[in-house]
Structure 1
Amino acid sequence: MLSIVHACIKFHHYIFGKHVTIYNDHKPLEDIYKKPLLSTPMRIQRMRLRLQWYDITVKYRKGKDMELPDTLSRAQLADSVPEAAGLECVSMLNFVSLMTLTKTKHTQKLYYDSKRANKHRSALQPGDEVRMAPHPGSRKWMPGIVVQPHCAPRSYIVESRGVMFRRNSQHLRTSTAVANQPRHMVCDEPWHETSRPPTVREQQPPPEPHHSSHEVAPCPPRTRPGEPYTTRHGRLVKPPDRLNL
């Protein structure tokens, strides 16, 4: 795999944007390249991530059948050419982030399908008792009866209190005839009927204001300042003696 990465990077200007078939004498590479990315070892994943720029197909061929590569691999070079340091120390390329992202996507899809996806609803038939979703500003579900299917997808014509409505199946809930009866309906049983006329409560005149039997005694006249006086309860009040200079 490392030889494939090295060859693709070296001949980038010749193979980029074209479909290339690569022959290798290592048989497991053909099967490894056909596997999903996450099912291969981490080291192989890092190399395959670098090969995502290229449209390549890996095939197996015996070493004795590849004369030119076999000859070049055995020939000695006149001088030493430094290899690319990046091939020896391949960066991880956020492998942990890739695994976390893949797991997060699967979790999001699971919750989306279980909570927000369209749920299977059985088709309604004419005459079925249903309840319609409340109108804007109301919290009461209105009873109704399905009249016929509508031409719109998953929609029905519903009659409620003499008025025809078009509603989608997501705004309808199945109900029963007993549950759709209003609670204030008078029962037809004989023991609930009464023959007595309704009684009218007589209006009573408002009560007259209550007057006390005893009158409040008038306050005694006030005396001149400086003289003792008697209160209405019989207490004698004397003014204080002041020093007059």
Structure 2
Amino acid sequence: MLIQLQGYDVTVTYKLGKEMFVADTLSRAYLQAQSNPIPSTNGCESISLMQSVFEQELEFVNLSHHLPISEARRKEIQVATEQYECLQEVKQLVMRRWPQSKTQVPQTVAPYFPWRDEIGVQNGVLFRGKQIIVPGAIRQKIMTALNSSHISINGTLRRARELFYRPGINDHVKTFIQRCATCREVDPA
């Protein structure tokens, strides 16, 4: 990344979060800039080509390619998302536009409303930020995989929060771990 950034003249200044009023809004409403090749001193167009490739990489980042889960698990999540009616409604709202009020969305989708600006779709998989939204049909499988090393409630919660999201995930993880016989055996007395 540092090599790719060498073609730019950048000055970084620190600003307090409370002073950045429109940063989030502007990050979603950027202007389409035309890329003009930068004239190079030696006649090469390699700088503009490198910038073009870098800009393309920045425009499209596929989260599903950077997840620490297997391709088979990703496909399983994708299929389960297509079959789960609630997540299909969420997906439609993401693609069209969320209503302004929570009362205007179906009850099944209401738990996702507070995070409507963070939810996106890539390759048929719903994400909340960098977390996969887990379809109901495979939640138990995901929990079993997360708890495979029996690393306590806090350890499993940490792993779950890194990768997955679903409304009430904290309570679900705690209940699952409390029912796990292996976890109960290795619990401190």
TM-score range relative to shorter protein: under 0.3
Q: Which has the higher helix share?
A: 2
Structure having the higher Rg: 1
* Larger relative strand fraction: 1
TM-score where L is the length of structure 1: 0.22
